[in-house]
Structure formats: C-alpha cells, structure tokens
Amino acid sequence: MSSLDYTTLESNKRFKLNFDGGDLSSDAGLLLIKEFISKLHFDKLISSIFHTNDFSSRRTHKDDANLLQVIYQIFSAYYEDDCADELTNDPILTAVL
C-alpha cells in the first residue's frame, strides 16, 4: 500500500502534492487565469499602457502590478480592498503576482 504523504503528478513532475497541512489555499484556479492572461499578453499590454498620475516616491508597487492584483482578487471573489491584507500570505496569490 502506497502512502499519499508525498507524491508527484505523472503528467507534470514539477507539481508536488503533499498532505502535511502546510500552505493551503482555495484559489488554485488563479494559476489557470494567470496562464490565460499570459497567453493573451494581457499583462504586457497593461504594463505598457496603464499608468496613473500618482508619482509618489513612497510607492513600492507599480501601477500594472496593482491593477493585476485587483483583477486576480475580483476573479477569486475578493471584492473588497481590505481583502488584500488577508491575501498577503496566500500562497497561490503571492505566486501569481
């Protein structure tokens, strides 16, 4: 009898499954959305044409990164700005961004 503590997928060896209760997320569908956005080059389009008029020197994130974060949050049903605080430790959202 084999154990499911640690295994890899047959189709893609880069995916590893473990059941140790570590970093969990219910937003794995964002990985497919990220791939779709990349295939359409939508992320490159946003970075080339989307800019705000805020030139504050204290900002740490770019305009396109902020817009993509909002788009991913809306796709995953986090409609409030305050949800970003909770999502800073979400493993899927941080990987997508």
- For residue 23, give the DSSP letter: S
Residue 16 domain-assigned (yes or no): no
Q: How many independent structural domains does the chain possess?
A: 1
84 in a domain, yes or no?
Answer: yes
Where in the sequence is the domain holding 88, given as residue range(s)? 21-51+60-96
Q: What percent of the chain has pLDDT over 70?
A: 69
Rounded percentage of the chain residues whose pLDDT exceeds 90: 2
Is 6 inside a domain boundary?
no
pTM listed for this prediction: 0.60
Quick one: average pLDDT of 18-38?
A: 76
**What CA–CA distance (Å, rounded) separates 43 from 40?**
8
CA 55 and chain centroid, separation: 26
Q: Is residue 46 part of a domain?
A: yes
pLDDT band for position 78 (cuts 50, 70, 90): confident
pLDDT at 26 over 50: yes
Question: Is 25 part of a structural domain of the chain?
Answer: yes
